[in-house]
Structure 1
Amino acid sequence: MDRINHVLEVDGVLLNYGTNRVLQNIYLKCQTGKVTGLLGRNGCGKSSLMRIMFGEPIAVDKSVRIDGMSLLGDYRHPNDMRYLPQQKFIPNKLSLDRVLADFELEKSELIAYFPEFGNFPNLTIDQLSGGWQRILEVYLILKSKSKFVLLDEPFTHIMPLHVETIKDLILLEKPNKGILISDHLYQHIMDISDQVYMINNGRSFPIKSVEELHDQGYIRAY
């Protein structure tokens, strides 16, 4: 992976669900070497924005750019961007070794972070619990050789101990790529992010502190 600085930007987004305007005044910038957090209440459009950035044709209008060059159509090259959706994406019948090989990752390194995977020789994905499947998915996307990774709810259904390991991995990977992360566990987002955006009433704006989250009504106490 090169160490050239890259910039991912999105703006000009218009997204409607029926007669409801969900996103309309959005600007977000993610840079390599930084973790960018994305917060907002359920239903505000966080996941939709990530899907739009990844190329899903759900928006009326949008502009997504890397280094000023527009990304057109609904295809993103894996070297440019990878996306962790909320729903599982690994086919059940693939083996753990096959999945790691497809992402060009070493099993020994996975085991170094999550020793429990050493107890799963020759298993297929559907033989892992839901929690371990999610950990594997987060690991694959986070460690992939891509300029940018978009992580949607990476801490969901994961034990606190493993959440801390994933946070450590995010900080270790930060020098190699730009990381955009959204999760309802806002404390973790604030802990590891270099910059944070919040979506409210269809627009995005920067957040500097937990106090601002309180002022915006996102949290009741802190």
Structure 2
Amino acid sequence: MKHILEVDGVSLNFSGRVILSDIYLKSETGKIIGLLGRNGQGKSCLMKIISGTLKAESRSIRFDGKTVFELAGRSDLLVYLPQFNFIPSFLTLERIFKDFSLDISEFETQFSEFITKSKLKISEFSGGERRLVELYVLIKCKSKFALLDEPFTHISPLQIERIKKLLITEKENKGFIISDHMFRHITDIADSIYLLNDGKLHLTNSMEDIETLGYARI
């Protein structure tokens, strides 16, 4: 069954500066949405507003046409990967997978470098390893939608390619909204690309649109 997440009428101002102005964004299970924009354009703010961790001047969020007022604790609907580490440092890899009701052996099959690390605390991992674990569990968990903010940070090129394949596979069960400054990885896998520019959200139809809107030279 397909599910739809709609974010409508999002407005945000900081010290008189318009960050987001009447934003509308739609995500569906089965699709990957790429969210691009230069630094300071409000990508992370938009994700925080959707997840409920940042208050906006206005916003409306609907799941399958029904308004949802509070997303805190609704991991069945939405999970959010922030730019910082969110899993408590004292948890072991084994415990993390148990808490997310995921099969750790499946993870170890795809990322064999973790086979001997199930008893280690996540604080004992490198920055890239920690990011990979947090990203993997949110991609694989049973939530209907996932917001991923800078998911490829500190992850090796080989691991990034594995994650991209995983995202393409898992989108059959989930809708993804992904933002990353390494935009080529986003354009490789996204079904649609939106670009934030001067407080407005633009749906792009080509790489030329991305260049015209001043994000990057192609």
Q: TM-score normalized by structure 2?
A: 0.97
Task: Check if 1:66 corresponds to 2:63.
Answer: yes
What is residue 131 of structure 2 aligned with on the other side?
134
1:212 to partner: Cα distance: 1.2
Matches within 5 A, 1:134-173: 134-173=131-170
Q: Which amino acid aligns with 1:185?
A: M
1:79 to partner: Cα distance: 0.8
1:18 to partner: Cα distance: 1.4
Q: Which amino acid aligns with 1:187?
A: R
What is residue 218 of structure 1 aligned with on the other side?
215
Q: How far apart, in 2, do the equivalents of 1:111 and 1:25 lie?
A: 43
1:68 to partner: Cα distance: 1.2
Segments of structure 2 that go 5 or more residues without pairing to the other structure are: none
Q: How far apart, in 2, do the equivalents of 1:207 and 1:198 lie?
A: 7
Match of 1:125 among 112, 122, 125: 122
Change (3 A) 1:200 1:76: farther
Segments of structure 1 that go 5 or more residues without pairing to the other structure are: none
Q: Which amino acid aligns with 2:109?
A: A
Change (3 A) 1:6 1:121: closer
Task: Check if 1:109 corresponds to 2:106.
Answer: yes
Q: Which amino acid aligns with 1:30?
A: S
Q: How many residue pairs get matched?
A: 218
1:103 to partner: Cα distance: 0.3
Does the Cα contact within 8 Å between 1:54 and 1:76 map onto a contact in 2? no
What is residue 177 of structure 1 aligned with on the other side?
174
Q: How far apart, in 1, do the equivalents of 2:10 and 2:177 lie?
A: 17
Q: How far apart, in 2, do the equivalents of 1:112 and 1:121 lie?
A: 13
Task: Check if 1:207 corresponds to 2:204.
Answer: yes
Does the Cα contact within 8 Å between 1:57 and 1:74 map onto a contact in 2? no
Q: How far apart, in 2, do the equivalents of 1:99 and 1:78 lie?
A: 15
Q: TM-score normalized by structure 1?
A: 0.95
Does the Cα contact within 8 Å between 1:56 and 1:74 map onto a contact in 2? no
Q: Which amino acid aligns with 2:184?
A: Q
Helix, strand or coil at the partner of 2:22: coil
Matches within 5 A, 1:34-45: 34-45=31-42
Q: Percent identity?
A: 48
Matches within 5 A, 1:84-99: 84-99=81-96
Change (3 A) 1:74 1:105: closer
What is residue 18 of structure 2 aligned with on the other side?
21
Give me the CA root mean square deviation: 1.0
Does the Cα contact within 8 Å between 2:145 and 2:176 map onto a contact in 1? yes
Runs of 4+ in 1 over 6 A off after TM superposition: none
What is residue 6 of structure 1 aligned with on the other side?
3
